[in-house]
Structure 1
């Protein structure tokens, strides 16, 4: 298997195929603004677009390039809701707050695809739904439980039997699926850059290669020092999520880093595309160490799973990937991968995104636990609205003043070790 493996965004498939472009020079002066946003991913850019369209002066600073973090490295599934089923969310948040979060995030794909359409973002949007596939007969129980809970809340989901999902996926190694027509797929980096372009057109000023080094509250203003400039802002949103860089004077919300890697074939032939995901749904499975697969706009098969490349487990992960491809789609056995890359997921203990409130003028959002596109877009827009109105009750979930996770390093090692050991033995003949 010949492939390129890297953690650099410039070597991912998404960077190579991105059709959106912006110019965002680094900050090199002292400026003032109404709203400063730290982080150039879905959350920060969604907030910037909302605030700029509302007439607020906005600056966005990104330490690297737009979409450098999870927004440019993920699978590109625009899911409805969270990974947790509604009853589990309610058990953590309470029934009223949980049902509200489920309802808001169930409509997240509407916001994403409406934004793409409204701003003509060139990001290969396909809203043909997703298939949550049972990796084994035992996985059907999980899907039946999710179907029961979601359909009881009016979600238009469908439970597919084994024969139906084999026909949809083009593989015999699926045992049923939960189809969600609300969802879809996008080119994830292009969506992020398209959001930045739309925000710029609405009046926001975006700076790449601009790290926040020091933050302090002086009177009614937030003062943020960068390498070559300084920003004074009335309000502040921090949206760095899994790629946060420590900043002096800013709390460091703890998350559990969990890595996810992907590989992409070259474009499949028309005959191959006709037999694999002919309707272009995005897929992932019910396995504890989950995997995903989908097609991009050019017909490349993109397949991935939990794990980190660039370290001792890389051989296990990439060896499994070759076996996984051959097992699921025998006609593609031995196919080379043109690109491999990986990214970092920011997990919380309860698998729910959180908002940390520093004061009435500053919010930090983090912990999407693998569901960044829809929730990030929703949370960013909502945080902008909350700061502009002064009404925190309109946030998707109530903000907290304190947050901590113990033994982050041990928990990270647990996930990576489990993924590595699984991939050493899984899918062998």
Structure 2
């Protein structure tokens, strides 16, 4: 299935974004931001609020990339376990990043309320569901490390988890009450409206074809116009097309696909995630599921969409919820997650006045929003560095081999699960 989002539930159900047009006239601004996702829009919003003249140029449409294809889990923290985070950055820097991202959902839901963003915000927490002995051990480690740092998480027993999830397939779950779910395309479009309200300029259908440093300033070229700026932010993340293509070599792109059912019956909704939490599991080939405001069940898993992926998803849902009537999917879509080698988000300084963000590892909503806020403060001279690592990433060795490994692993897992069921 193509990368076009014509079959995306989020694109189909989100409120309309602002009416934008391609950039056709030359401009001079303080900051130009390339990419209209969570990070780029948050950066623009926060810069405009302090009076900076800022422009966003988006190659496709607002939220086209990973932001609009997101699962919609507004999680606290990073992908790594807290001790791994400390080992990677040092206790002080790791602790600062952990604490800051722990407050990420507060900030995101605060922006949603402040700007009245229509994005189906539900703050009922998230469940990290345990599968097998290794999954239980992982959650026990995470719970202990998070509790030691004061996080209000709870490790649910098998019976508690099964009741909260509505399925007997899990032996535990780590509940985080700080988190929740949103409609990600609605959030992206809402951030765009907010940025415009604060005075930012936004242009879509404007792929950047060149960038050049002229003295102390930067010239960014699109098809029919140029922008001169003091500072540039590359905020394409896993969608580094056109002239940004070299940035792709700094992360491994992982495919993640999602499918949405038709709205479930009232009796089914009473049994499936009755508390309306979002969920992902501990399987090596991770899957996720959640509900939307119309009662659709959205199921996702690593790998590209296709017949095998869809067949596996249908069977997996039947295994999880045997009482479900025939599973019918209305929407299918896929996206890319940017995994850095250390699984950490980075704010890179590529040159004087040239910044690039990358590596959210599937935690883009809160991470991207806060990255944009801190990056705006950095560019406005309100801070000397970000809480995020600011080292420049090198190219990942054997990147294509690693990408293929993830894809083949997902394919093999889905095939094995399907064969096991059919056998």
Shorter-chain TM-score bucket reads over 0.9
Which of the residues 405, 417, 420 maps onto 1:414?
405
Unaligned runs of 5+ in 2: none
Q: Deviations over 1:127-172 (max 9, x none)?
A: 1000000122431111010000001000000000011111111111
Partner residue of 1:347? 339
Counterpart residue number, 2:367: 375
The residue that corresponds to 2:76 in the other structure is 80
Alignment of 1:60-209 (within 5 A): 60-209=56-205
Structure 1, 17-26 or 296-305: larger mean CA deviation: 17-26
For 1:32, what is the secondary structure of its paired residue? strand
Deviation at 1:220, TM superposition (A): 2.1
Matched, 1:28 2:28: no
In structure 1, stretches of 5+ residues that fail to align are: none
SS in 1 for 2:6: helix
Give the aligned partner of residue 57 of structure 1: 53
Q: Tell me which of 259, 266, 280 is aligned to 2:262.
A: 266
TM-score by length of 2: 0.96
Query: Deviation of residue 217 (structure 1)?
Result: 1.1
Contact 1:215 1:249 in 2 (8 A): no
2: CA distance, partners of 1:95 / 1:27: 45
Between 408-417 and 396-405, report the one with greater CA deviation.
Answer: 396-405
**Are positions 1:359 and 2:351 aligned together?**
yes
Q: Is the 8 A contact 1:214 1:249 kept in 2?
A: no
User: Displacement, 1:83?
Assistant: 1.4
RMSD, matched Cα = 1.5
Structure 1 pair 239–377 and aligned structure 2 pair: CA distance change class (3 A): same
Question: What secondary structure does 1:262 align onto?
Answer: strand
State the Cα distance separating 1:409 from its structure 2 match. Answer: 0.8
Q: How many angstroms does 1:17 deviate by?
A: 0.5
Matched-pair contact (CA < 8 Å) for 1:263–1:304: yes
The whole-number CA distance in structure 2 between the counterparts of 1:138 and 1:251 is 35
Secondary structure at the aligned position of 2:241 is classed as coil
Q: Runs of 4 or more off by more than 6 Å in structure 1? A: none
Do the aligned residues in 2 keep the contact of 1:236 with 1:361 (CA within 8 Å)? yes
Task: Find the aligned partners of 2:149 and 2:258 in 1 and give their Cα distance.
Answer: 33
| Count of matched residue pairs | 420
Q: CA separation in 1, counterparts of 2:132 and 2:325?
A: 21
Write the deviation string for residues 211-232 of structure 1: whole angstroms up to 9, x where unpaired: 1111011112110010011000
Higher mean displacement: 187-196 or 96-105: 96-105
Whole-angstrom distance in 1 between the partners of 2:391 and 2:403:
24
